Amino acid sequence: MRSDPPAGVLEAFWAYERALGTDDLAALDRLFADGPGTLRGDAAGLLVGHEQIAAFRGTRGGAPARRVVEVHVRTVDDDHALVVAVTELVRGGRGQQTQLWERTDGRWAVAAAHVHAPAPAFDPRVWRVLGDPLVPGAAGGPLAGRGVAVKDLFAVAGQRVGAGTPAWLADAPVEAEHAHVVAALLGAGAHVRGVARTDELAYSLAGTNAHTGAPPNPRAPGRVPGGSSSGSAAAVALGQADVGLGTDTGGSIRVPASYQGLFGIRTTHGAVPTTGLVPLAPSFDTVGWLTRDADLLAAVGDVLLPPRGGAAGTSRLVVSPALLALAQDDVAARVRRFAADAGAVPTTAWDGVDLAAWAEVFRLRQAWEAWRAHGAWVTAHPGALGADVAGRFAAAAGVDDATGARAGEQREQVRAQVLDLVGDDVLVLPAAPSVAPRPDPAGLDAVRAATLRLTCVAGLGGLPAVVLPTPGPTPPPGPDGGTGGRADRPVGVCLVAAPGRDRELLGLARDLARTTG
Amino acid sequence: MRSDPPAGVLEAFWAYERALGTDDLAALDRLFADGPGTLRGDAAGLLVGHEQIAAFRGTRGGAPARRVVEVHVRTVDDDHALVVAVTELVRGGRGQQTQLWERTDGRWAVAAAHVHAPAPAFDPRVWRVLGDPLVPGAAGGPLAGRGVAVKDLFAVAGQRVGAGTPAWLADAPVEAEHAHVVAALLGAGAHVRGVARTDELAYSLAGTNAHTGAPPNPRAPGRVPGGSSSGSAAAVALGQADVGLGTDTGGSIRVPASYQGLFGIRTTHGAVPTTGLVPLAPSFDTVGWLTRDADLLAAVGDVLLPPRGGAAGTSRLVVSPALLALAQDDVAARVRRFAADAGAVPTTAWDGVDLAAWAEVFRLRQAWEAWRAHGAWVTAHPGALGADVAGRFAAAAGVDDATGARAGEQREQVRAQVLDLVGDDVLVLPAAPSVAPRPDPAGLDAVRAATLRLTCVAGLGGLPAVVLPTPGPTPPPGPDGGTGGRADRPVGVCLVAAPGRDRELLGLARDLARTTG
């Protein structure tokens, strides 16, 4: 391979550098090859096609200032060359870019680019505080060597609790003691890797945060991570922690698990102590956690869950077409196939249930409790919350005591109905109605409403729910098949059962992960 | 550009994946093109040539387990194709690799590869604890917005001090108050980004640490970062902090500054309070800091240094060929040119000085003081230190009081001689005798001995010393010149003057950086 560059390619390379420096989007678009085959990859993921790449550039607001310190050219022929450049950023650190240039009709353009910028000290969208470790675990124990990302709602001794809101953090005292579950994990040998971001006061399912941004979703670049246990989930998906400790009031474990292809559990309401946890809506709040595999999900359950009670149910799986219909078609299809592969029995029992009405009961009672928990603080800190969560609290402020009480009564009726419908079976349903959506504020409101129609079943029932990823329809590439296209975005399936059956669900998830994964 | 792959390239791609999985070095070497032009880049830097790439593979101990989730091929012709693959690691996170494959004599091999693995939560070779921020600074102030990496020898309230040694950390109490300089930086608006790694008890110049490894040197991949302020320096070079707070007893600021192309200052002994600092050899210990530019170096000095005294000297630069001769030829040439460009006047005043004898005085007195400071702790913690630092303390234990006292007297004589030799001028000398060496333990001992012959001048004299990077001999690539080869490894030049002239040296460094940079 020659290293003398073909005519014009270096001029094009430098023109590209200049366009980057001035964020000249038109020039950058022109210097990337047109068409659906153009590639651009960086730490956030691989973009395929000129359109995706142009959209990315349009929103990032320019590249950091830099100078080129090395340029290497590997020439294929007069119309193709690879240009590899080492860059030095003004803000420190070195990056690299590899570009395959192609000349078509006399014009040079990049057909594929691979870029890396220097890593920041850590990703502040995912973490607030980190250590090596932040808190060491006990010697030995079943969770020895496992790192935990603690959602910034749990007390960690020596740290403040930030609850996703800078103004909350500023007022917060240094905690003298660990939250109950943090202490239990440490006692079992796990260590605390750090304190992970959360949606503000956990009052969101999107995983966005007006102050610190949305953690990345490595399995769905450009999409939201899901929340409110957003940082805990991203830390696990990114391989930066083994266990993501979080909470689930209305779906805050189940949604990020589904969006990111993780395993997660929302425990039976009341089964795991919430001591040392900032509440959102206490009659719904539960502890939960996320992992990359079903074995560790169960192993954490062995540490945190009460011993198995006597009232075990059956392991019969049932699936309701009426519930599947609450999800988008692609998600419903994935969950339907999963259920079929797992031998789930269809049921018509849910056909007449008005899930929209249930979700409204959930919404009202949650809002009433949330305002009781935080209304005084929110009132005393105008402007402290981002628009989405502030709007939710403003609505919550309008839920008067009579409405709250009535929602509480309705909730008890729904709970009885849920217990009856679920019975001794294991209900299979979509963990979320769609794959991870784009971070479009207006769209996210609709997603939230659709999500609560599915997640309110376990929420209103106080039921345990375990999420596991479904296999995608596209086979991965392999030595035989060669290439594989775009990897599928994750879709989670949720298993719900009667209160107290958490350990059974965890065992079932292990079995299902082995047979369907 | 076609996306149907040429015959055989995917088979070669999958053979490469299999060889990675089993760390089959012979197969990997075979699947990378022979010769000096082959490229392989990742976050640690760009390797050029098959030989460098094979050497890297031989020491890394295999790639992390992963599966390929996307493969994209862009075909140039029957013998050239770019293969872009997205990988999913078993330990979490996604990576990407871009490979330019070439067929020569019927055999496919990689001519250039660009790889990125998912980032860890943070680099534990650089940092021990991190936050966003770890400690906020005062509102406003001259250092507002600047992040500080605090060497793990200074007290940060709420944190323990680790001193680079896990056994030290395990015994350490949580600090109630900030070290003097930490408090001063916070008061000036800077924030603490985190606690950075140090060589154990600061008793090294290499930047290696037996427990946590050597921080990377982004400007000299595969080379040591220099120490003992190793993490503070790497954090600044990587752009993960703006100010690296450290100490300099025998060169612990000057050496990493030189190896990493940074600006650094070792302050006049006694000029900046060491309250809240773990000592090494108190009669030599000084506070220092590192930055990426001369302006910030001086701005920190405005905060931490005492007001300028009355006894200002001249700004005449002098350079001693005898001192240059203590550096390797390439370093001496860089410093000589820098001195010439800066208008330094040659001096023969240092020709008769026995720097080796001075370095021995420094070594003995430092050892005697270090054992007084830490001998009891070292004795009580057998096996706690890595071999290099343990060996140094073992030698220090053998320096009896009579020898220590005699070295103290000789030191006073040398100090008087240094003050006389430096006079009112500014001495220009190499900051270190070589570029950053490889992390070879035997070699590092020789480097340390050679380094002390240069650095002991300021150490024995208690003098301020400012380091700034010299421009390399190779011009960087540019729009006119096109490509540029391997970027030069950094070489620092050191400016030394009489005690108390710190601020003058900082101003001089600003001027010189503008005219020579």
CATH number of the domain enclosing A105: 3.10.450.50
* Same domain, yes or no: A71 and A153: no
User: Rounded distance, CA A289 to CA A150, Å?
Assistant: 9
Over 80: is that where the pLDDT of B310 sits?
no
Please check whether residue B430 lies inside any domain of the structure. Answer: no
Using an 8 Å Cβ cutoff, are B460 and B358 in contact? yes
A332 and A450 belong to one structural domain:
yes
One domain for residues A90 and A127? no
Q: How confident is the model at residue B313 (pLDDT cuts 50, 70, 90)?
A: confident
Whether A197 and A81 share a structural domain: no
Q: If you average pLDDT over residues B10-27, what whole number do you get? A: 94
**Residue B61 resides in a domain:** yes
Closest residue on chain B to A92 (Cα): B239
In angstroms, the CA A287 to CA A291 distance is 14
Conformational region of residue B293, where left means phi above 0, alpha means psi within -120 to 50, and beta covers everything else: beta
pLDDT given at position B395: 98
> For residue B165, is it left (φ>0), alpha (ψ between -120 and 50) or beta?
beta
**Co-location of A86 and A135 in the same domain:** no
Closest CA to B233 of B220, B250, B252: B252
Judged by DSSP in three states, B127 sits in strand
- Residues from chain B that touch A234, judged by Cβ atoms under 8 A, are none
Last residue in a domain, options A116, A147, A169: A116
CB of A483 within 8 A of CB of A272?
no
Beta strands in A325-455 (DSSP E): 345-346, 426-430
Distance separating alpha carbons of residues A244 and A241, to the nearest angstrom: 7
Say yes or no for a CB contact (<8 Å) between B46 and A129.
Answer: no
Residues A316 and A445 in one domain: yes
| CATH of residue A450 | 3.90.1300.10
From first to last of its 517 residues, chain A has per-residue pLDDT tens of 787 999 999 999 999 999 999 999 999 999 999 999 999 999 989 999 999 999 988 888 888 899 999 999 999 999 999 999 999 999 999 999 999 999 999 999 999 999 999 999 999 999 999 999 999 999 999 999 999 999 999 999 999 999 999 999 999 999 999 999 999 999 999 999 999 999 999 999 999 999 999 999 999 988 999 999 999 999 999 999 999 999 999 999 999 999 999 999 999 999 999 999 999 999 999 999 999 999 999 999 999 999 976 667 888 999 999 999 999 999 999 999 999 999 999 999 999 999 999 999 999 999 999 999 999 999 999 999 999 999 999 999 999 999 999 999 999 999 999 999 999 999 999 999 999 999 988 899 999 999 999 999 999 999 999 999 999 888 778 876 667 667 789 999 999 999 999 999 999 999 999 987 5
Choose among B466, B468, B469, B454: nearest CA to B418. B454
**Which positions 256-285 of A are in contact with B (Cβ < 8 Å)?**
none
Instruction: Mark whether A140 and A253 lie in a shared domain.
Output: yes
List chain A residues with CB under 8 Å of B130.
121-122, 127, 129-131, 194
Domain end, chosen from A72, A97, A116, is at A116
The closest of A386, A449, A448, A61 to A213, measured between CA atoms, is A386
Do B487 and A46 make contact, defined as CB atoms within 8 angstroms? no
CA angle B138, B144, B147 (to 5 degrees): 95
Number of separate domains in chain A: 2
* A69 and A156 share one domain: no
Determine what percent of chain B is predicted with pLDDT higher than 70. Answer: 98
> Looking at the partner chain, which of A39, A96, A118 has a beta carbon nearest the beta carbon of B46?
A96
Question: SS3 of A452, please?
Answer: helix
Residue of B50, B71, B488 best to disrupt the A interface, most CBs of A under 10 A: B71
Query: Measuring CA to CA, how many Å separate A463 from each of A268, A467, A502, A509, B42?
Result: 5, 13, 9, 16, 47
Contact A102 B1 (CB under 8 A): yes
- Predicted confidence at residue A218, as pLDDT, reads 93
User: Is B25 part of a structural domain of the chain?
Assistant: yes
Question: Per residue in B146-167, pLDDT tens?
Answer: 999 999 999 999 999 999 999 9
B129 touches chain A (CB under 8 A): yes
Q: Which of A96, A159, A160, A290 to mutate to test the interface with B (most CBs of B within 10 A)?
A: A96
Tell me B316's DSSP state: -
Burial B228-256 (b: 16+ CB within 10 A, else e): bbbbbbbbbbbbbbbbbbbbbbbbbbbbb
A chain contacts of residue B196, beta-carbon cutoff 8 Å:
none
Domain boundary among A90, A116, A142: A116
- Alpha-carbon distance of A319 to A349, in angstroms, equals 10
Report pLDDT for A311: 63
Where does the pLDDT of residue B2 fall: very low under 50, low under 70, confident under 90, or very high at 90 and above? confident
Q: Could you tell me if A311 and A280 lie in one domain?
A: yes
A369 is a domain residue: no
pLDDT at A308: 78
In a domain, A395, yes or no: no
Residue A455 resides in a domain = yes
As a whole number of angstroms, the distance between CA B412 and CA B399 comes to: 18
pLDDT at position B107 over 90? yes
Indicate yes or no: CB of A93 within 8 angstroms of CB of B240. yes
Which residues of chain B neighbour A77 with C-beta distances below 8 Å?
76-77, 80
Asked if A192 and A144 sit in the same domain, the reply is yes
- Same domain (yes/no): A101, A147: no
Distances (CA, A) of A417 to A268, A358, A411, B512: 17, 11, 10, 80
* Structural domain harbouring A74: 9-116
B68 within some domain: yes
CB B256 within 8 A of CB B264: yes
In a domain, A393, yes or no: no
Q: Is B123 in contact with A119 (Cβ distance < 8 A)?
A: yes
A115: nearest CA partner in chain B: B114
Q: Which residues contact A176 (CB under 8 A, 6 or more apart)?
A: A157
For residue A17, list chain B residues with Cβ-Cβ distance below 8 A. 479
- What pLDDT is stored for residue A58 in this prediction? 86
Instruction: Tell me: do A108 and A143 sit in the same domain.
Output: no
Measured in whole angstroms, the distance separating CA B437 from the mean position of its chain's CA atoms is 11
Number of A/B CB contacts below 8 angstroms equals: 257
